[in-house]
């Protein structure tokens, strides 16, 4: 294998050869995965789940594949699922079909006797990975140097690592979801003059401008890859919202042109998008809301109505199947699944379940006690929101 070392000391691997353990959470399983072509996978998953009985609780995020969702005991968004896990203290094993930060939240909210398992450790979240602990610490130091850190309340979106949730807990901040972002920001502005919003700039901007009545000039974007975030002290001093330069790779791909195109193709269509979409897309949409809001809106919609949905494709396809009396389409002509959500497939789920049934705990997600404590402080502050 040929490895070239750059001036920064980082290795460059020939395509398809080698791996970097420092940048990959783990793309290998410590065991044999069943073949994806195995026609008995469904039966094997059922048998393993039946053998585990009440000792097992399977969570499935809305964006998961149908082949996985069929085995979920509960489906929902990330916070709902973590809360559901906490409400099942009798379940010895929590198998989280989602991504890494979600399984971390489940581990934080469940008891020490419960084991949280992520079927594929490579199932991460590109948005969550855009804000590392070291980067956020550097940002906070920049705010201290600018003399404004004592005026800033950090708020992190649920789609963030346990480290970032803990950072917010330690520094007087809280967690929010896309459903309660407005309430979280109102809470924060009662305690400080500014908010550092992590890691999704779009949710922060959309909430501040469209729900709290701020102007776009009240928001600045902190870029962790530039010195001082690419901002001068006056910008930091003038801003009310300091937005982290992060985004969702799926929701960020929707454009205003997508909205114009679907309106031209489908007269009378209702455009319904997630608040992780770009501000200019949200402005063109008819309705904006969280995943749970999107599902509820379609459930309540009249038969025969047409809808273009700006969120992850697995969910959009499932909604189209669930509500065949409505015309439901993906907002973008180019289909796009969440590549990391899609990591968990039936072979990985079968492997995890069969391993547990055999008494072997695999891919356990564990958050250290100090991080878990402060992350829970931030989560509890969110739960206490009016």
Instruction: Take residue 272 and report the two structure tokens written for it.
Output: 């319904």
DSSP state, residue 181: H
pTM for this structure? 0.87
| Inter-helix orientation angle 291-300/313-322, to 10° | 20
Instruction: Take residue 116 and report the two structure tokens written for it.
Output: 């949280």
Q: What is the CATH number of domain 128-248?
A: 3.40.50.10800
> Hey, what CATH class is 251-330 in?
alpha beta
Q: Do domains 40-124+341-367 and 251-330 have the same CATH topology?
A: yes
How far apart, in whole angstroms, are the C-alpha atoms of residue 197 and residue 355?
Answer: 40
Q: Name the nearest CA neighbour of 293 among 309, 313, 269.
A: 309
The DSSP bridge partners found for residue 57 are 94
Q: Are 225 and 178 in contact (CB under 8 A)?
A: no
Sign of the Cα torsion 153, 194, 134, 124 reads positive
SS3 258: helix
Instruction: Take residue 69 and report the two structure tokens written for it.
Output: 């969702």
Alpha-carbon Rg for the chain in angstroms = 22
Helix (DSSP H) and strand (DSSP E) numbers for the chain: 15, 15
How far apart, in whole angstroms, are the C-alpha atoms of residue 56 and residue 94?
Answer: 6
Per-residue pLDDT of the chain (386 residues; tens, 9 = 90+): 333 333 444 444 344 444 444 434 544 556 678 887 788 999 999 999 999 999 999 999 988 899 999 999 999 888 888 889 889 999 999 999 999 999 999 999 999 999 999 999 999 899 999 999 999 999 999 999 999 999 999 999 999 999 999 999 999 999 999 999 999 999 999 999 999 999 999 999 999 999 999 999 999 999 999 999 999 999 999 999 999 999 998 899 999 999 999 999 999 999 999 999 999 999 999 999 999 999 999 999 999 999 999 999 989 999 999 999 999 999 998 876 777 777 899 999 999 999 999 999 999 999 999 999 999 999 999 989 98
Q: Name the nearest CA neighbour of 120 among 361, 356, 340, 312.
A: 340
How far apart, in whole angstroms, are the C-alpha atoms of residue 206 and residue 252?
Answer: 13
Binding residues for iminosuccinate: 61, 78, 157-159, 178, 274-276, 291
237-286 tens-digit pLDDT: 999 999 999 999 889 999 999 999 999 999 999 999 999 999 999 999 99
Dihedral pair phi/psi, residue 40, rounded to 5°: -95, 10
How far apart, in whole angstroms, are the C-alpha atoms of residue 194 and residue 211?
Answer: 16
245-254 burial code (b ≥16 CB/10 A, e <16): bbbbebbbbb
> What pLDDT score was predicted for residue 343?
86
Domain parsing of the chain, residue ranges? 40-124+341-367, 128-248, 251-330
Binding residues for [4Fe-4S] cluster: 125, 248, 338
Binding residues: 61, 78, 125, 157-159, 178, 248, 274-276, 291, 338
Fold of 40-124+341-367: Rossmann fold (3.40.50)
Which ranges in 110-213 belong to alpha helices (H)? Answer: 133-145, 162-170, 181-189, 201-210
């Amino acid at each position: 294998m040929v490895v070239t070392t750059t001036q920064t000391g980082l290795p460059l691997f020939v395509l398809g050869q080698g791996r970097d353990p420092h940048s990959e959470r783990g793309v290998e399983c410590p065991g044999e995965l069943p073949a994806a072509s195995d026609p008995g996978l469904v039966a094997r998953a059922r048998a393993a789940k039946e053998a585990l009985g009440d000792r097992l609780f399977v969570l499935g995020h809305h964006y998961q594949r149908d082949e996985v969702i069929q085995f979920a005991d509960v489906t929902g968004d990330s916070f709902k699922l973590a809360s559901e896990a906490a409400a099942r203290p009798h379940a010895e094993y929590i198998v989280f079909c989602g991504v890494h930060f979600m399984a971390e939240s489940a581990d934080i909210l469940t008891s020490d006797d419960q084991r949280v398992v992520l079927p594929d450790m490579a199932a991460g979240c590109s948005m969550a990975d855009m804000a590392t602990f070291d980067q956020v610490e550097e940002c906070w130091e920049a705010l201290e140097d600018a003399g404004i850190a004592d005026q800033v309340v950090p708020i992190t979106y649920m789609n963030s690592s346990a480290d970032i949730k803990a950072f917010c807990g330690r520094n007087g901040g809280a967690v929010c979801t896309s459903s309660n972002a407005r309430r979280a920001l109102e809470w924060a502005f009662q305690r400080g003059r500014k908010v550092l919003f992590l890691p999704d700039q779009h949710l922060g901007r959309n909430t501040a401008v469209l729900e709290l009545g701020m102007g776009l000039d009240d928001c600045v974007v902190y870029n962790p890859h530039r010195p001082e975030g690419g901002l001068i002290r006056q910008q930091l001093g003038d801003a009310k919202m300091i937005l982290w330069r992060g985004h969702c790779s799926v929701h960020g791909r929707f454009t205003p042109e997508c909205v114009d195109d679907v309106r031209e193709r489908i007269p009378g269509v209702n455009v319904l998008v997630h608040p992780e979409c770009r501000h200019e897309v949200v402005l063109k949409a008819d309705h904006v809301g969280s995943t749970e809001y999107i599902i509820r809106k379609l459930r309540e919609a009249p038969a025969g109505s047409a809808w273009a949905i700006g969120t992850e494709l697995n969910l959009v396809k499932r909604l189209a199947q669930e509500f065949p009396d409505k015309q439901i389409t993906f907002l973008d002509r180019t289909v796009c699944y969440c590549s990391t959500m899609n990591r968990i497939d039936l072979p990985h789920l079968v492997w995890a379940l069969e391993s547990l049934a055999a008494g072997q705990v695999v891919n356990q997600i564990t958050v250290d006690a100090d991080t878990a404590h402060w992350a829970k402080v931030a989560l509890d502050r969110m739960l206490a929101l009016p």
